[in-house]
Structures are given as C-alpha cells and as structure tokens.
C-alpha cells in the first residue's frame, strides 16, 4: 500500500516554542516528510504570533472551518492516503467527514497524552478521592481510539492502562515517544559546566493546568523551605501565556521570578543548574525533561513527573514525592558536583536508549505502510460499530449547525 499523501488536522497551529505538544507535532511532520509524504496541515484555529513557520518545508497549509461542507470538498480534492487527527476532540469533529469522503484513508489518532488520565488525576487530587478512570472524558477519548485505525501513545504507562484497564486491542495502539536526536560526545562537550551555572528553573506552558499547579506548589510549599537552605539562589519560572495571577507571584525579595516565555527552551534551561518540577498530577511524557537532558541539566521531580520516562534506567537526578525530602534532595543535587555530573550521564543514557528517533521512526512508518486496512478493520469490529452509530449524532449535529449558519 503506497501511502504518500498525509492530511494532518490540527487542534491548533503547532507552537513548539510554547509546548511539548507543538514539538511533538513538528517531529511527526518532519518524520513523514523524510519518508516522501506530501503533507497538508489544516486547522480551524487562528494562527498566533508563535505559530510554527512552515516556510521552506514542503507542507501545504489549509485554514478550515468547523461544521462546514467546505472541508468535505477539501477532502475530495486532496484524496489523502492518511489522515492524522491531533487529539480526540479533532477526530470527534472531523472523523465522520473523513469516513464519508475518504473511507479507505488510514485514520491515525495522535493522543498527545491521555486526556482522561490527566483529568482523573486532577479531579481526584482536588476532591481527595480515589482515581476514577471511567469518567466521561474516557468514554469520549477511548471511543475515538476505537474508531481510528491506529492511535499513537506517547507513554508506556498509558499503553498499559489502555490494554489492562480498558481491554483495548494492542493492534490498534502504537507506542511512539518523542523522536529525539541522540546525544553525542560533541554535544556533551558544548554543555555549560557546573561552576558556570546557577539557580533553579521550571518551565511549562501556563495554559496547561499541571504546570500552573506546579508553579503554585513551588511558590507555597517548596521554595519557602528551599531558599532558606540555599540563600542567594534564585527560582526562575519560564512559560508561555502567563496570566496576571501568575505574574503576581513574582517576588524579588524571595528571589522567585516569573520570567514569561523563553525564546528557546533549551538555551534557557542550559543556563541553570537544576530543573525542579514537583509535578502533582498530569499524564504523558514531559518535554521539559527531554530538553533538560539534551542540555545536561539534572532534574528533580515526583513520581508523576517522571512517569514512563526512564524505563529501567536511573533518573537524571532525583524522584521524590515527599516535599520535605524533595527539598533536601534538591539541595544535595544543587550542591554536590559529583552527584550532579553522574545525573548528567544518566540523562544521556535515557535519551539515547529510550527516545532515539532512529529506533522508533522507521518501525512506525513500516507498520502503517504494510497494514492491510480491510483485515485490520474487520478485526476491530467494535470500531466499526462506533463509526456506524456513535458518529451519526456528531454528524447530524454538525449538519444542523451548518444549516443554521446559512440562515
């Protein structure tokens, strides 16, 4: 099966300088381009100042509309071999149109992370209740997984949840982590040395609730203890879309600084000695740690923060959930050069063994290009049922809105 035309439908125009999700999307675009695909990127969202510039890449951009038959005409014109949905909400909106106009196009869902898992953890923590994975978001997201031919899962922990907790057939799931260049000795030699670095850094898009919660945890629970143990050391918070409530946390006397957007995340991280991230809830794989490892910056985080990132290897710093011990470990990592250097080496091991693009990219493309769609879909009969029934409500709601918009 010669798959050469790819349509990506984006929830937003990717912003790799703002979020790991944006970086992930550009990695996928680069991967398909490298394999000779003609790529069209479409989104109904408005472009922003920091949207990725596809100029110079053989990517066609298309602005599309919600609930509008013009998208059907675009599908007929493009006649894509593969359609990739950027998160389940996009598949809900456009999946039935793709099925109607291009029934034999392979449908791939890039989950980014499991939204229902992140939501369940956030709600469970807020209400001090047991984790409830069987929530309404899960019903929508897993239905989307079942309707698609392949779903890309970025975390091994999330693969396990889907297979063990929800009995999802592994043949419709594909583990595809971040696709990174290996860290070479040449790259290591360019790292900023221990003595030339100072201070702590946290970085993360403020629109992402786990990041905002982490900043609050740093401000109220971690930094008051940590700054007493390391007087003179500063806490620098970087992240796109910092709202006024975040900016108000800036306090020069406490050396707690809200720096706003970093023009280049890796360059910002590389100037600091430690990435500190007491993440309390979330899902997926954290791009901030990938960036830290690429710059030789050790980190300290929680079990949730490091989830599914290190595999059987040792973490590039410390993992600790008790915040008082967390502070002591942060001091140790910041002050002890030997422990710090050892943590650097562990980061190299993690990147080169668990995120090397050379390991995962070719395997993924080979799998989708050899897939017999007819046999694959017959095996996933639940998916056929959902495509037949579930999306009809979405379809007719969309058509009703479309008709209403004409009046």
Mean pLDDT, residues 151-160? 97
In terms of domains, do 58 and 10 share one? yes
**Which CATH number does the domain housing residue 128 bear?**
3.40.50.2000
Distance CA(229)–CA(3), nearest Å, equals 58
Whether residue 327 is found in the same domain as residue 200: yes
Boundary-marking domain end, from 354, 370, 391: 354
Residue 6's beta-bridge partner residues? Answer: 39, 82
Q: Are residues 268 and 300 in the same domain?
A: yes
Same domain for 336 and 371: no
Query: Do 206 and 346 sit in the same domain of this protein?
Result: yes
Per-residue exposure over 11-36, b if at least 16 CB sit within 10 Å of its own CB, e if not: bbbbbbbbbbbbbbbebbbbbbeebe
Q: For the residues 340-346, what does the mean pLDDT come to?
A: 98
Residues 107 and 244 in one domain: no
What is the per-residue pLDDT across 210-235, written as a single tens digit (0 to 9) for each? 999 999 999 999 999 999 999 999 99
Q: Which of 354, 374, 390 is the last residue of a domain?
A: 354
For 44-81, the pLDDT digits (tens) are 999 999 999 998 888 999 999 999 999 999 999 999 99
Alpha helices in 131-286 (DSSP H): 136-147, 156-164, 185-189, 209-217, 223-229, 244-247, 265-270
pLDDT given for residue 395 in this prediction: 75
pLDDT score for 51: 96
- Structural domain count, the chain: 2
Answer for the pair 187, 270: CB distance below 8 angstroms, yes or no: no
Q: Are residues 318 and 363 in the same domain?
A: no
Tokens of 405: 């918009």
Is residue 242 pLDDT above 70, yes or no? Answer: yes
CA distances from 251 to 204, 205, 257, 269 (A): 19, 20, 6, 21
For the residues 378-392, what does the mean pLDDT come to?
82
Residue 120 has pLDDT above 80, yes or no: yes
Is it the case that residue 322 has pLDDT exceeding 90?
yes
- Could you tell me if 341 and 368 lie in one domain? no
For the segment 325-330, the average pLDDT, to the nearest whole number, is 98
- Residue 398 confidence (pLDDT): 76
pLDDT at position 297, please?
A: 98
* pLDDT at residue 183, rounded to an integer: 98
Structure confidence by residue, pLDDT tens digits, 182-192: 999 999 999 99
CA-nearest of 141, 90, 106 to 284 is 141
Residues making up the chain, counted from first to last: 407
- Quick one: 203 and 223 in the same domain? yes
The whole domain housing 258 covers: 185-354
Clarify whether residues 307 and 387 are in a common domain.
Answer: no
**The pLDDT of residue 402:** 78
* Chain position carrying tokens 């002890």: 336
> Rounded mean pLDDT of 111-117?
95
Boundary (domain end) residue, out of 339, 354, 369:
354
Average pLDDT of the chain to the nearest whole number: 95
Contact 145, 111 (CB under 8 A): yes
The mean pLDDT value for 374-390 works out to 87
Mean pLDDT across the stretch 136-154?
A: 97
Give the residue-averaged pLDDT of 367-392: 88
What confidence tens digit (pLDDT) does each residue in 258-305 have? 999 999 999 999 999 999 999 999 998 999 999 999 999 999 999 999
Whether residue 162 is found in the same domain as residue 31: yes
Rounded-to-integer distance, Cα 37 and Cα 112, Å: 21
Give the pLDDT confidence of 85-102 residue by residue, as tens digits. 999 999 999 999 999 999
What is the reported pLDDT for 406?
75
Q: What percent of the chain has pLDDT over 70?
A: 98
Count other C-beta atoms under 10 Å from residue 69's C-beta. 12
Helix, strand or coil, per DSSP, at residue 19: coil
Q: With residue 60 as reference, give the H or E element that holds it.
A: strand 59-63
What pairs with residue 59 in β-bridges?
39
Residue 346 and residue 398 in one domain: no
């Amino acid at each position: 099966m010669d798959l050469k035309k790819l349509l990506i439908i984006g929830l937003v125009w990717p912003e790799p300088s703002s979020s790991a999700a944006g970086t992930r999307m550009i990695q996928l675009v680069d991967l398909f381009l490298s394999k000779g695909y003609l790529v069209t990127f479409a989104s109904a969202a408005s472009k922003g100042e920091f949207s990725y510039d596809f100029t110079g890449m053989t990517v066609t951009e298309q602005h599309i509309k919600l609930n509008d038959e013009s998208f059907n005409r675009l599908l007929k014109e493009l006649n894509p071999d593969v359609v990739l949905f950027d998160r389940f909400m996009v598949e809900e909106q456009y999946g039935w149109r793709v099925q109607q106009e291009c029934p034999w196009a392979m449908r791939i869902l890039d989950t980014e992370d499991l939204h229902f898992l992140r939501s369940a953890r956030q709600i469970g923590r807020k209400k001090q209740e047991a984790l409830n994975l069987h929530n309404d978001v899960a019903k929508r997201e897993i239905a989307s997984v079942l309707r698609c031919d392949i779903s890309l899962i970025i975390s091994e922990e999330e693969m396990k949840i889907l297979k063990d907790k929800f009995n999802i057939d592994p043949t419709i799931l594909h583990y595809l982590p971040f696709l990174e260049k290996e860290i070479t000795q040449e790259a290591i030699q360019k790292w900023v040395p221990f003595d030339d670095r100072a201070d702590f850094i946290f970085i993360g898009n403020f629109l992402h609730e786990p990041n905002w919660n982490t900043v609050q945890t740093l401000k109220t629970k971690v930094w008051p203890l940590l700054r007493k143990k390391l007087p003179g050391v500063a806490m620098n918070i970087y992240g796109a879309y910092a709202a006024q409530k975040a900016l108000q946390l800036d306090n020069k006397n406490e050396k707690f600084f809200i720096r706003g957007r970093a023009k280049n995340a890796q360059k910002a991280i590389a100037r600091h000695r430690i990435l500190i991230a007491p993440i309390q809830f979330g899902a997926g794989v954290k791009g901030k740690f990938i960036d830290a490892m690429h710059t030789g910056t050790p980190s300290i985080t929680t079990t949730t923060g490091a989830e599914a990132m290190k595999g059987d290897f040792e973490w590039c710093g410390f993992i600790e959930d008790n915040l008082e011990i967390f502070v002591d470990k942060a001091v140790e990592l910041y002050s002890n050069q030997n422990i710090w250097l050892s943590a650097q080496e562990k980061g190299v091991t993690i990147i080169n063994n668990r995120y090397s693009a050379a390991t995962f990219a070719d395997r993924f493309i080979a799998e989708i290009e050899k897939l017999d769609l007819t046999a694959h879909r017959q095996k996933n009969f639940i998916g056929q049922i959902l495509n037949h029934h579930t999306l009809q409500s979405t379809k007719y709601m969309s058509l009703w809105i479309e008709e209403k918009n004409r009046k």
